[in-house]
């Protein structure tokens, strides 16, 4: 087991290097650079920059240097926790995103937990009562959740909360709470602003996981070892829980790994619509202004989160399934 974990960690290093290169290339792909965008913005507001000023700016930011060198300047700082300098915000990249990364992780993590807690019981119910009224209602709701995109749900929640309920639905706190000192009331206020994005982010995945859990369980309930368990004289409840559900959980863990990238991109969109300080809004802005170190770092960290998530899912899978553990 330990050699397995060490192997997996070592295997992540080349993946990370390749991803950092690809990320850097992708960020550089659009025509122009940060200076061009800045120039265009200044021009749009009626100002102008002469050629020498533009050149000076390029040199200052190191944009005139060869791509390989720029890449090296970026990655060589990683071990020191230096992810480069945001050209637009004039601040170290890490200082800008550190707090926002936390919110992204929190929202994505909570959404994953929400998905699991909701989909597994419903999946079990649906499989055990296949084609019943309840099963059909859950299937209907599930497909509804699957078909409505997250930004739409966010907008609908905004409208519903503001117009019908008259409560604040965007940001992390209600306006009057933002500058208040920490208190239990403020904490409750935070929770009230956190659950809607978590639910919105989780809805799509929940619908998917219900289908997967239901399908798995239906499949497993027909397996020979479930009949064996029943033929021993075990109570139906034990047969289902110990032999069927326990096995149906395994694929859910692999699927969990696959849900992580969806959660991350969903956190960007939902965060943007509901004005939650995830990395989403900043990422979007950085892409538009071609603030390359900021955009690149966010993209890279997202991938790192994905890798770690999948790594954890693999370990969990090895932990619950002896067939993988002994490979």
Partner 1 sequence: MNENEKYLLKINNLKTYFYTLDGIVRAVDGVSLTLKPGKTMGLVGESGCGKSVTAHSILRLLPLKTSQIKEGEILFRRRNDKEVIDLVKINPQGKLIRSIRGKEIAIIFQEPMTSLSPVYTVGNQIIEAILLHRQIEPQEAREHAIQMLKSVGLGMAESMIDEYPHRLSGGQRQRVMIAMALSCNPSLLIADEPTTALDVTIQAQIIELLKSLQKQFQMAVLMITHNLGVIAEIADEIAVMYLGRIVESGSLKQVFENPLHPYTIGLLKSVPIIGNQTKKRLAPIPGSVPDPLSVIEGCAFRLRCPVYKQKECAGQEGAAMVEVEPEHYVRCLLYDRDEGVRGNEN
Residues near partner 1, by CB under 8 A: 223-225, 227-236, 242-243, 246-247, 250, 320-323, 326
Q: How many CB atoms lie under 10 A from the CB of residue 275?
A: 15
Quote the least distance from Cβ 315 to partner 1, whole Å.
Answer: 16
Contact 104, 264 (CB under 8 A): yes
CB closer to partner 1 out of 7 and 129: 129
CB closer to partner 1 out of 94 and 125: 125
* Closest C-alpha among 162, 164, 157 to residue 175: 162
CB closer to partner 1 out of 183 and 227: 227
Quote the least distance from Cβ 205 to partner 1, whole Å.
Answer: 25
* Closest C-alpha among 89, 93, 145, 85 to residue 114: 145
Instruction: List the end-to-end C-alpha distance of the chain, in Å, as a whole number.
Output: 9
> Which two structure tokens, joined as six digits, stand for 131?
């084609």
Contact 84, 74 (CB under 8 A): yes
CB closer to partner 1 out of 95 and 236: 236
Strands (E), the chain: 85-86, 91-92
Residues 6 or more apart whose CB falls under 8 angstroms from that of 285 comprise 88, 291
CB closer to partner 1 out of 1 and 98: 1
What's the CA angle centered on 175, arms 178 and 112, to 5 degrees? Answer: 70
CB closer to partner 1 out of 187 and 225: 225
Quote the least distance from Cβ 248 to partner 1, whole Å.
Answer: 11
Contact 252, 212 (CB under 8 A): yes
Quote the least distance from Cβ 238 to partner 1, whole Å.
Answer: 9
Quote the least distance from Cβ 1 to partner 1, whole Å.
Answer: 14
Q: How many CB atoms lie under 10 A from the CB of residue 304?
A: 15
Quote the least distance from Cβ 288 to partner 1, whole Å.
Answer: 50
Residues 6 or more apart whose CB falls under 8 angstroms from that of 225 comprise 243
Torsion angles phi and psi, residue 110, rounded to 5: -65, -40
Q: How many CB atoms lie under 10 A from the CB of residue 303?
A: 18
Report CA torsion sign: 297, 302, 303, 308: positive
Contact 56, 314 (CB under 8 A): no
CB closer to partner 1 out of 55 and 321: 321
Quote the least distance from Cβ 247 to partner 1, whole Å.
Answer: 6
Quote the least distance from Cβ 180 to partner 1, whole Å.
Answer: 51
CB closer to partner 1 out of 10 and 235: 235
């Amino acid at each position: 087991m330990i050699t397995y974990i060490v192997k997996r960690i070592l295997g992540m290093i080349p993946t990370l290097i390749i991803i950092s290169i690809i990320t850097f290339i992708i960020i550089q792909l659009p025509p122009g650079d940060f200076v061009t965008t800045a120039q265009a913005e200044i021009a749009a507001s009626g100002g102008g920059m002469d050629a020498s000023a533009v050149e000076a700016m390029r040199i200052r930011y190191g944009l005139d240097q060869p791509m390989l060198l720029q890449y090296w300047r970026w990655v060589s700082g990683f071990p020191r926790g230096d992810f480069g300098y945001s050209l637009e915000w004039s601040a170290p990249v890490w200082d800008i995103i550190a707090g926002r990364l936390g919110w992204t992780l929190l929202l994505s993590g909570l959404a994953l937990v929400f998905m699991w807690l909701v989909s597994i019981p419903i999946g079990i119910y649906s499989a055990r009562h296949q084609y019943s009224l309840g099963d059909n209602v859950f299937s209907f709701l599930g497909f509804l959740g699957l078909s409505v995109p997250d930004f739409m749900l966010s907008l609908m929640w905004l409208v519903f909360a503001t117009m019908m309920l008259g409560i604040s639905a965007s940001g992390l706190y209600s306006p009057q709470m933002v500058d208040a000192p920490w208190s239990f009331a403020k904490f409750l206020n935070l929770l009230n602003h956190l659950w809607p994005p978590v639910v919105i982010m989780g809805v799509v995945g929940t619908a998917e996981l219900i289908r997967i859990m239901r399908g798995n369980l239906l499949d497993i309930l027909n397996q020979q070892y479930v009949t064996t368990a029943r033929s021993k004289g075990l109570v139906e409840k034990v047969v289902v829980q110990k032999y069927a559900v326990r096995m149906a959980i395994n694929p859910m863990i692999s699927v969990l790994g696959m849900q992580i990238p969806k959660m991350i991109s969903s956190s960007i969109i939902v965060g943007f619509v509901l004005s939650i300080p995830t990395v989403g809004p900043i990422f979007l802005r950085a892409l538009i202004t071609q603030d390359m170190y900021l955009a690149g770092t966010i993209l890279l960290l997202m991938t790192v989160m994905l890798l770690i998530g999948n790594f954890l899912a693999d370990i969990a899978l090895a932990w619950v399934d002896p067939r993988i553990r002994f490979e």
